[in-house]
Each structure stands twice: as structure tokens, then as C-alpha cells.
Homo-oligomer: A and B are copies of this chain.
Amino acid sequence: MEDWRKRVGENVRRLRLARGLSQERLAFDSKIDLTYLGGIERGRRNPSLMVMVRIADALGEDLKALIA
């Protein structure tokens, strides 16, 4: 597995669902657009460091959890 965008996306989705959150809700909490978050989860975006930090924060996770 070498596609890191996909990997991050899967982690975001997994952690989000584990908390019972909708994309809409996580998008709101991390202050990014709903459709943009969807793109990240599907591995179609190449998010910046700070965007990933915002998502990790909103999930109550360390950044490490997104690239595990």
C-alpha cells in the first residue's frame, strides 16, 4: 500500500464512524467544507499539514492517528 492519500482518507473515515459522526458534522467541527472532507476520505485530495491537523483535532486524535 503506497497511496498515502487513500490511507489518510481511510483513517479519517474509520475514526469518524467510530465516533458516530457524519461527514457534515466533522466538516463543521474541523472548519472545512463538507465536500472537501468527502474528497479527502475518498483519497482524491492531497491535504496540507494544517488541514490534517484540524481534522485530527476535531476527531480528538493525534495527527499520528491519521497516517497510521
Interface size band for A: 10 to 19
Q: How many copies does the complex hold?
A: 2
A42 contacts B by Cβ under 8 Å: no
Whether B50 contacts A48 by the Cβ 8 Å rule is: no
Determine which of B49, B53, B68 lies in contact with A48 in the assembled complex, contact meaning CB atoms within 8 Å.
B49
A15 contacts B by Cβ under 8 Å: no
Determine which of B4, B46, B50, B67 lies in contact with A46 in the assembled complex, contact meaning CB atoms within 8 Å.
B50
Whether A8 contacts B49 by the Cβ 8 Å rule is: yes
In the assembled complex, the CB of A24 is this many whole angstroms from the nearest CB of chain B, namely 23
In the assembled complex, the CB of A26 is this many whole angstroms from the nearest CB of chain B, namely 18
A67 to B4, CA, bound (A): 15
